[in-house]
């Protein structure tokens, strides 16, 4: 099955889902989110028992499409609310996906792309992969992914990553527990397939039940925090700093923050 922005291939009990906007560094457009959700639905309904998520070209996912972000600055709060719900729905779907999901991170995974990569059950990264929740650098905020990050790395580390917006390498991502394995670039898919083979040797019912238990243990608190994040995301999109940050990024200049 091929959509415009996502490619789905199956090899027996293994499914491979590829973000397929290499000319845009696989940035998250509304269409790509729809295509990814459709692909995940198809895998869940299929005989595949394990899925690998990767990106076409030199990047895994560069985060939200800048054209989309720019357009949202001129849209109504209701339109922004719909977009925020759509985006966080993708993150939650990946986080709670019933079948084991392996991210094969072949390059940069930034902002929402970093979230997408690290919300999979396993994240295998190339040695030259980079990560970062960079939203604050352009006047935005990691409202939709932040609650997942805090759940994964704890309060103190989450504040470091989310408030600095710094980009960090695969080795640090592994040290923080966001990445399971770091391998040479040529070995990323090989390593992902090896892990998939290990998982395919396990009881599928046991793995599904285990994932369901892990999700149920924290989902009530997570969903409350997601609701807070959606409201915060909508609010910041109406600010002057959001518009200035995007304009400065697109114009390749230093932003002039007003704090409004």
Tens of pLDDT, residues 106-148: 999 999 999 999 999 999 999 999 999 999 999 999 999 999 9
Q: Is the dihedral of CA 213, 132, 50, 187 positive or negative?
A: negative
78 among known catalytic residues = no
Q: Which of 44, 135, 172, 219 is catalytic?
A: 135
Whether 62 and 106 have beta carbons less than 8 Å apart is answered as no
Residue 2: pLDDT over 70: no
pTM: 0.96
Structure tokens at 215: 């999700």
C-alpha 221/C-alpha 218 separation (Å) is 6
Q: Where are the domains of the chain?
A: 6-200
Whether 70 and 250 have beta carbons less than 8 Å apart is answered as yes
CATH number of 6-200: 3.90.226.10
Banded model confidence at residue 1, pLDDT cuts 50, 70, 90: low
C-alpha 177/C-alpha 179 separation (Å) is 6
Q: In the prediction, which pLDDT does 40 show?
A: 98
Centroid of chain to Cα 62: 10
Q: In the prediction, which pLDDT does 180 show?
A: 97
Q: Classify residue 251 by burial, with Cβ atoms within 10 Å: 0-12, 13-18, 19+.
A: exposed
Residue 72: pLDDT over 90: no
């Amino acid at each position: 099955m091929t959509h415009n922005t996502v490619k789905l291939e199956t090899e027996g009990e293994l499914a491979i889902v590829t973000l397929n906007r290499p000319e845009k560094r696989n940035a998250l457009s509304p269409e790509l989110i729809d295509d990814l959700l459709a692909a995940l639905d198809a895998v869940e309904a299929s005989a595949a028992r394990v899925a690998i998520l990767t990106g076409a070209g030199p990047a895994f996912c560069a985060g939200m499409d800048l054209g989309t972000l720019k357009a949202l600055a001129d849209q109504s709060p209701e339109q922004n609310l719909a977009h925020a719900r759509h985006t966080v729905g993708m993150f939650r779907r990946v986080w709670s996906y019933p079948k084991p999901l392996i991210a094969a991170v072949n390059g940069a995974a930034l902002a929402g792309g970093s979230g997408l990569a690290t919300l999979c059950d396993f994240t295998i990264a190339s040695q030259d992969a980079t990560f970062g929740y960079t939203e604050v650098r352009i006047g935005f905020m990691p409202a939709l992914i932040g609650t997942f990050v805090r759940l994964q790395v704890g309060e103190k580390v989450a504040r470091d990553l989310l408030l600095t917006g710094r980009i960090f390498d695969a080795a640090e991502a592994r040290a923080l527990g966001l990445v399971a394995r770091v391998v040479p670039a040529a070995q990323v898919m090989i390593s992902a397939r090896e892990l998939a083979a290990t998982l395919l040797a396990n009881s599928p019912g046991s793995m599904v039940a285990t994932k369901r238990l892990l999700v149920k243990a924290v989902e009530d608190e997570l969903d409350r925090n997601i609701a807070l994040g959606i409201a915060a995301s909508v609010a910041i999109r109406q600010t002057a700093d959001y518009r200035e940050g995007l304009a400065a990024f697109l114009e390749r200049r230093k932003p002039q923050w007003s704090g409004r």
